[in-house]
Structure 1
Amino acid sequence: MAGSGPNSAGGAGGRAEAVGIVAAMLAVDPLVSALPARVPAVVPWAEPALLPQILLAGGGALPAEAVRHVLTVLALSKPGDVYPGLEVLTAHCTADSLAAFAWGLFEQWRLVGMPPKESWALHALGWLGDDDTVRRLTPVLRAWPGEGAHHRAVEGLAVLAEIGTEVALTHLHGISQRVPFKALKQRAREKIAEVAEGLGLTGEQLGDRLVPDLGLDADGSTVIDYGPRQFTVGFDEQLRPCVRDADGRQRKALPAPGAKDDPELAPAERKRFAALKKDVRAVGAEQVRRLEAAMVAQRSWTVREFQELFVAHPLVGHLVRRLVWLAESGGVVTAFRVTEDRTFAGADDGELTLPEDVRVRVAHPLHLGGDLPAWSAVFAGQGILQPFPQLGRPVHRLTGEEAAGHRLTRFEGASVPVGKLLGLTRRGWERGEPQDAGVERWFHRRVDDDRHVVIGLDEGIAVGALDVFPDQTFAQVWLDSAPGDYWPGRGYPLRFGDLDPVVASEILADLTEVTAG
């Protein structure tokens, strides 16, 4: 926190610039015409002495009185209707200090209980925030629904969309795919859909294009510059950092700045390295999840998309090289892998060239058939560790009776601890809508718009009180056009045998794992 003393513009020139900024913000057309009849007063909790300094681009900082005018400008602004004076502020002040100021303001707002009338303090993060703001805000948004602040979390999604950087949209996409609160996840999906529609893409296609390169070079490295010393940082196939000095010697870790290093540059670069490691872990985990989901859903890409979005990406490229892929054209399917030099090779290690008209997708072991042992030998021989189970993935098949029917009776009657059951949400299953007395009576997994695999539960999950019914019995497991209760007298025309074998295998794998003793 900065005290009121430091909140001053250095020297007569700085004070004059501050005065000019304030005048431009509040006293010059068209800004005057935008002022309401009653200008909001600065709230007591937003005392400038408690907030980080706003630094001028030309040097110095805004004095406390000017900061009060900034607070007024923010209070006058609304989502989609920002007071014009904000543009003057961002044009004359440093972006880093504005982002830090906005975060300090947000924290003060949280400390006083997040009064709804001052929710502009949350939206200020969207107008003034940066990628670091995104990293700090996202965990807060994820937690808010569990703290009874769902509406605030939804507002926070708009903030991420307002910041609009690749990092912001990546985190927004992450919430839309993986958060335990269904309503927040749905709102995030709607936000992503809005952005995607504006670009003429689907949500998943946008997600492919939102993977940040984190400022890394094409080979996946970056230089950490301490001034007299430089270090090259790259990442191995498991996305762990590798540090080399100027002579190319590998170090165990990036050293702390020394007495001979640049006193300003070195600490800033070390901080950048710490943020980079954190971002790589987060991006890597999300992309592993997305690639596994793409394998199950059998998403495919053109050769150009595959090259640009996956093979050439400085981070995703590491994951791509640890998987077997399929190229399909005219009914002919060819399995291949991506080598260290980003060329393509078959199981015999012979180089392959992919025609422009093929579609590329992640191979499921069911697709590899008799070639599976050969590919397993290649990866084992080269010590390639896969980011998720692919070649060693268990394969399950329906019995003839199951394929001809709408129920999976082999799982019915199984008793499952509720905590273990909830673990299925990480694999695409969803909790049912609360019914009488707030009990969720089913679990379900969407196959497509018209087909859902549903688990009828006995007694059901008590919302907010998981210990009321700690064990759940699978009463029925069936295929239906929509999730809901099972009605014995009703006809069920859908058949499990009509599901794609990969989808059927994955469903059986989930149910086998969750019901295992």
Structure 2
Amino acid sequence: MITSPAEYSRLVRDVRALVAAGDADGLVPLLLAHAEMVGNHWGSQHRKVIDAVRDADGPFQQRLVHALAARFHELEPGTPARRSVVALLGSLQLPEPHGDDQPLDTRAVLIRLAGEQDVHYSVGELIRLAELELADGHELPGEFVAVVRRTHLALWNGKAQLGPLVARLGRPVVNPGEAWADRALADAADLAPGWERLLAHAATANSARPSTKWEQTATALIEGLGAEAVRERVTAWLRLVGRPRTHPLLDRGWGADPNATLDAYNADALRGLTWLLSFLPGRPDSDRVLGALVETALRKVQGIGPMNPKVANASVNALARIDGETSLAELARLATRVTYKGTLKVLNTALDARATALGLSREEIEELAVPAYGLTEVGRAEFALGETTAVLEVHGTRAQLSWRTAAGRTVKSVPAAVKRDHADELKELKASVKDIDKMLSAQSERLDRQFLARRTWPYAAWRKRYLDHPLVGTLARRLLWTVDGRTVGYADGELRTLTDDAVTDGTEVGLWHPVGHDPAETVAWRDWLERHRVTQPFKQAHREVYLLTDAERATGTYSNRFAAHVLRQHQFNSLAAIRGWRNRLRLMVDDEAPPAMRELPQWGLRAEYWIEGEGESYGNDTTESGSYLRLRTDQVRFYPIDAPENSAHCCGGEYRMWLRDGADPVDPLPLAEIPPLVLSEVLRDVDLFVGVASVGNDPTWQDGGPGGRFQEYWTSYGFGDLNATAETRRALLNRLIPRLAIADRCTIEGRFLHVKGERHTYKIHLGSGNILMTPNDQYLCIVPKSNPTAPQAGYLPYEGDRMLGVILSKAIMLADDTRITDPTILSQL
């Protein structure tokens, strides 16, 4: 690496020598090596290197441009060397000579290089190249038009300088390079001219909602092409949104990767296409596509957050405008899945408006929005496709298709006759399976959040919307309920009490929660579920109960039970949103933020979890955009829901109540006055945040993370006392282990599952899943799969405990440690 002025002087001399010799090809590797070394840090010494090149005559500069361009196209996309070529060309800013000394293809080379970029930071060069090409009567390549349009939108001076040029560039009507746009451009070129006009009109959708004039023009275009033809084409285009770019763009190595985002110019066209669908009667396939587009547009991209919220919001508004069962179902499903605040607000507004229009409550509209998806009984349907019968069944939280032949034989693969003669019906059945899987997950989340909703139902309405609903019934029949105060579960075709007496009618129904029930009764219901082989969709009978501790009685108004933890901020933020909490990402800036909070309007309360950014080094303790990678946690408090908000500096410090208009401060409420159900569920949420997002769960942090400064915390958390969730896991493992094939090698002692292997004896912590092994409690690092599932261990009483799957997988592997082949693990054994 060149670090001293003397070395730079030598480099400049070498550059000047190659320039004097006219050796452009020989200069390229020297310049690239230098550019890769300095990266994005162009200092004064680098300027001397550039000036040495710019002092060369015009013909040499043009030969250098060609040599750099040739090298660019030899390199793999996304490599530092490829970025360096573009960086060098930007630094050199070589003028294009006029007259006989201009190589004929110089301009074409520069245009081609520009088309590789997301944004071109030399606006003047873009204008010059475009004007020269247009003056010569040439059509600008689509990729070049695309970068002009994106630069026009992205740069602070883009609109002023590039506005007149962009106004002249009518074609292509959308930017090529994305799968959906390429398909749309190809279709428009092959079909009647009206299709290109429709696509061009969609690209003018640059407001939040369509104006009356915009809608009138769109309606006329749709009538000219045919409503069903438009639906079919637009739906096919939108299905391709989010696919990998067909023309990858240069990743400069800083900021967001442009290949992971939507083309900024095309976003308006996507918004317009969703509006077009909203002008048509609802259909299941187009409603599904709009719902999927919301999730695609909200996909997180490192460095920028959601991919494109305005496309997501447009899709939500389109669904809200479409009148039909499936559009409402998509809105209700998305309301349980979307965590981005802006889009969630649009969703809530749409659902509230639909509820008002129908004279129902928001909760009722969400219940009635769940379709049956063709199921004719709870969790099951049959469809005749010629001589074959398709059987659609729900097992747990997944739908499955199987096939019964005319001879009565059941097969898993799709029969050839069905593929040949019933392609459309098969396509719809497969779509229904995907829809059911998504909706089951959404409904499970919704039901899990009902404990604090204080909902009760009239018995008849509850049976219709829950117990006997073809889809929701598959979840409701695996939960416990109270009917007129009696706890009941579903087994053998009836609601039954703890003694298996049938309950066939009632007046009022509620969702059962262990708070307020005798622990012995809760244990008895766990036995009842096991006896009837009922696997609950989430923890209910095994749900952790958080009672007030002596320490919390002493502090009075706050709980320190989950203080002094170090959490991964972005994972915490996502979990908080899923569980209904509001939170702002902490940035390393001079600003304040409120705590993470959950409002509980049914109880008139607001819960707060106090947090602060962790670390002092920008770029090491933060992302490139400045958001902290980690948080430190503090108190949990409760306030009246209308109390002024607290806030604290994002980098840490004391929380203070923000008082406006002469308002008086409001004291936190004593924990002893918080209803036990509310206290338990809020603390359970916070325990979930810590249990999932703590850096103590990271098996690769045995060295204490950055600078080793988390060593003490990682050790205390990774091998310390069990929290309530881990205690529940220990109780379950005590019942589960004896059923496993490795039972004779396993014992549970205190905080650990002990596993006897051939090489060592291992201790797996029941909270973190971290492992110690003999001798001397040596740490063993095993990184689990991103989505492990519990090995087949027979009956499990509930779903959703990821750490249970991690622990069981590690135990089964370590019990037979002589068969381990992973070199990373073997090197530690």
TM range (shorter): 0.7 to 0.9
Structure 1 residues 215-234: aligned runs within 5 Å: 215-234=374-393
Deviation at 1:483, TM superposition (A): 3.9
- Matching of residue 349 in structure 1 with residue 507 in structure 2: no
**1:4 match:** none
1:51 aligns with 2:204: no
Q: Which runs of structure 2 are paired with 1:472-487 in the superposition (5 Å)?
A: 472-480=631-639, 481-485=643-647, 486-487=655-656
The range that moved more, 439-448 or 269-278, is 439-448
Query: Counterparts of 1:49 and 1:337 in 2: how far apart (Å)?
Result: 57
**Cα distance in 2 between the residues matched to 1:407 and 1:432:** 21
Decide whether the 8 Å contact of 1:442 with 1:460 is kept in 2. Answer: no
1:21-32 to 2 correspondences below 5 Å: none
Distance (whole Å) between structure 2 residues aligned to residue 126 and residue 483 of structure 1:
40
Name which one, 1 or 2, has greater alpha-carbon Rg: 2
Q: Rate the CA distance shift 1:168–1:385 in 2: closer, same or farther, 3 A.
A: same
Residue in structure 1 matched with residue 449 of structure 2 by the alignment:
293
> Is residue 324 of structure 2 the alignment partner of residue 165 of structure 1?
yes
> Which structure 2 residue ranges, 5 or more long, are not aligned?
1-169, 175-182, 242-261, 299-304, 616-620, 648-654, 658-663, 692-716, 718-829
Q: For 1:127, which of 266, 274, 279 is the aligned residue? A: 279
Matches within 5 A, 1:78-117: 79=210, 81=212, 82-83=215-216, 86=219, 93=226, 95=228, 97-104=229-236, 113-114=265-266, 116=268
Per-residue deviation, 1:86: 4.2
Write the deviation string for residues 362-399 of structure 1: whole angstroms up to 9, x where unpaired: 11112442422221111101211110001111111113
1:65-122 deviation line (CA, Å, top 9, x unaligned): 5656877998999747443994996799574x43222235658997782264885333
Partner of 1:152, secondary structure, is: helix
* Paired position in structure 1 for 2:713: none
Task: Choose the corresponding residue for 2:426, options 270, 274, 290.
Answer: 270
2:462 is equivalent to residue 306 of structure 1: yes
Aligned AA for 2:443?
Answer: Q
1:429 equivalent in structure 2: 581
Cα RMSD over matched residues?
A: 3.9
Q: Shift of residue 492 of structure 1?
A: 0.7
Moved more, 286-295 or 140-149: 140-149
Task: Identify the residue that residue 452 of structure 1 maps to in structure 2.
Answer: 606
Question: In the TM superposition, what is the alpha-carbon distance from 1:246 to its structure 2 partner?
Answer: 5.1
Distance 1:212 1:80 in 2: 32
TM-aligned CA deviation for residue 294 of structure 1: 1.1
Match of 1:471 in 2: 630
Alignment match, 1:507? 682
1:399 partnered with 2:535: no
Structure 1 residue ranges without an equivalent (≥5): 1-41, 54-61
Partner of 2:358 in structure 1? 199
Q: Distance in 2 between matches of 1:359 and 1:375?
A: 21
Tell me the SS of whatever aligns to 1:411: coil
SS of alignment partner, residue 263 of structure 1: helix
Of 411, 431, 443, which aligns to 2:562? 411
| Aligned length, in residue pairs | 458
Conserved? CA contact 1:131–1:167, under 8 Å: yes
Q: Which secondary structure state, in structure 2, belongs to the residue aligned with residue 479 of structure 1?
A: strand
Q: For residues 20-62 of structure 1, what are the alpha-carbon distances to aligned partners after superposition, in whole Å with 9 as ceiling and x for unaligned?
A: xxxxxxxxxxxxxxxxxxxxxx975389873389xxxxxxxx9
Aligned to 1:334: 486
**Is the partner of 1:365 in helix, strand or coil?**
coil
Deviation at 1:340, TM superposition (A): 4.5
Query: 2:195, 2:225 within 8 Å by CA — same for their partners in 1?
Result: no
Which amino acid is the alignment partner of residue 512 of structure 1?
D
Measured in 2, the distance between the counterparts of 1:384 and 1:52 equals 55
- In 2, distance between residues paired with 1:417 and 1:73? 44
Q: What's the offset of the Cα at 1:232?
A: 2.8
Alignment of 1:142-157 (within 5 A): 142-144=295-297, 146-147=305-306, 149-157=308-316
Task: Give CA-to-partner distance per residue, 1:133-186, whole Å, 9 cap, x none.
Answer: 232333432343535633332222111112333222222223333323112111
Match status 1:256 vs 2:414:
yes
Number of the residue aligned with 1:17: none
How much has 1:225 moved relative to structure 2? 3.7
Q: What residue identity is the alignment partner of 1:307?
A: R
Moved more, 316-325 or 121-130: 121-130
In structure 2, relative to structure 1, the CA distance for the partners of 1:92 and 1:466 (3 Å cut) is closer
> 1:248 and 1:207 mapped to 2: Cα distance?
42
User: Of residues 503, 510, 525 in structure 2, which corresponds to 1:361?
Assistant: 510
Q: Which amino acid aligns with 1:350?
A: D
2:380·2:391 contact (CA, 8 Å) conserved in 1? yes
CA pair 111-85 structure 1, distance change in 2 beyond 3 A: closer
Q: Does 1:64 align with 2:192?
A: yes
| Higher relative contact order, structure no. (Cα contacts within 8 Å, ≥ 6 residues apart) | 1
C-alpha distance in 1 between matches for 2:591 and 2:544: 37
* TM value normalised by structure 2: 0.49
- Opposite residue 126 of structure 1, the aligned amino acid is S
Paired letter, 1:83: Q
> Partners in 2 of 1:293 and 1:248 — Cα distance?
46
Shift of 1:350: 0.8
Q: 1:192 to 1:91 in 2, by over 3 A?
A: farther
2:370 counterpart letter in structure 1: V
Query: For residue 646 of structure 2, what is the amino acid of its counterpart?
Result: G
- Aligned-partner Cα distance in 1 for 2:172–2:359: 46
1:328-367 Cα shifts (integer Å, max 9, x gaps)? 3xxxx111123343x3211111111333xx3212111124
Q: 1:476: how far off?
A: 3.4
Aligned residue for 1:366, secondary structure, equals coil
Who is 2:529 aligned against? Answer: 379
Distance change >3 Å, CA 513–CA 434, structure 1 → 2: closer
Q: 1:229 to 1:441 in 2, by over 3 A?
A: same
Q: Give the C-alpha shift of residue 132 in structure 1.
A: 2.0
In the superposition, relative to structure 1, how do residues 116 and 510 fare at CA in structure 2: closer, same or farther (>3 Å)? closer
Structure 1: which amino acid aligns with 2:186? Answer: L
Contact between 2:274 and 2:315, CA under 8 Å: does it hold in 1?
yes
Q: Which position in structure 2 is the counterpart of 1:13?
A: none
- Partner AA of 2:216 in structure 1: Y
By how many angstroms is 1:441 displaced?
Answer: 5.2
Whether the 8 Å CA contact 2:235–2:286 is kept in 1: the answer is yes
CA deviation after TM superposition for structure 1 residue 217, in Å: 1.3
Q: Identity rate of aligned residues, in percent?
A: 20
- 2-side partners of 1:71 and 1:118: how far apart? 10
Counterpart check, 1:322 vs 2:482 = no
- Amino acid in the other structure paired with 1:178: R
Kindly tell me: are residues 164 and 403 of structure 1, through their superposed partners in 2, closer, same or farther at Cα, counting changes over 3 Å?
A: farther
